[in-house]
Structure 1
Amino acid sequence: MNGDLYLADALKRFREAKSQCDRALAQVPVERWTHRIDPESNSLATLMLHLSGNMLSRWTDFLTTDGEKPDRDRDAEFEDPGAFDPAALRARWERGWACLLGALEGLTGADLDRTVTIRNEPHTVLEAINRQLSHYPYHAGQLVLLAKHLAPGPWQTLSVARGGSRAYNAAMMGDRPQP
């Protein structure tokens, strides 16, 4: 396996997840970001707090410190913020993604076999990246579904629109006949 190709693809997948989240959040008024559909569900703000908290913990000093930082309060990430500050939440969200992307951009294929720890459990860098490639899109899907539920007016699809597959495929194929 070419490690540099893998890292480039991992970065692409993380950026796609962030883009989906950002485009979904943009369709929901910030006043609705703390709404929960039931007491056991997460709000958009909760998902943003959790994802950014995880990113800041896992990816700060990624190669040299445990991925679960002692100052992280994971349980608080799942509670409604006492005083909701959308600008502060958005800034934390951006810091989390920047931390993740910056850490990955600093890696080379040779780093994939190195060992890092998460909660004192050893992982190769490859395993640690794959762990988050399954975790973040899981929550991104929750965020998108909740945003679609909370958004006023018509939803602007984040992918190929219903009933639009033929037109999308034709555009992607340059109107070439398909085999």
Structure 2
Amino acid sequence: MTYRLALFTPETWKATQADGCTTVGFRRNQAALARVEPSDLLLCYIIGVSRWSGVLKVTRAAYECTGTLYDEPESFPLRLDVSPLVAVNMERAVPIQLPEVWSNLLLTKELPIQNSRWGALFRQTLRQIPREDGDFLLALLRRRKELEDEYELTSRDRSKLTALRRQKKERIEWASYDNERS
């Protein structure tokens, strides 16, 4: 069993939860997908708001599917079947920059919390994550699932969400344009 980073936008995380956290999709250019095995654990991270939102267990090796996923212009044709060990909505997801999270992750604890370069660690989906970090996040998210409080979205979070929505709208417009030309 290997822990792996799985990146989601707020929209793809919401769609994954609406589907019961049973399938996740990837673009064709995910070479790392070949290394993912059943029983690997995906540590779900929501980009834009920098939050840990779940841990999903891979139940089937990667396969190709032609159906759409996530209501996106891209179909995310490469899929993994998964089952949730824990999954929380975006408002209850754990911000990575909480001191108790930041200082306990091998990935971040040596970096100053205000250093903007740490984001590069979270640009490659399916990269392997140290077991200690995975165990810590799994336990943390299981505790979070029992709590009813939420982490308020900051003005920075809301600004990033607006930018992500604008980018998605532009991708949809380009996809529509490309389809009209075909």
TM-score (norm 1): 0.28
Q: Which has the higher strand share?
A: 2
Q: Relative to total residues, which structure has the larger helix share, 1 or 2?
A: 1
Structure exhibiting the larger radius of gyration computed from Cα positions: 1
TM-score w.r.t. structure 2 length? 0.27
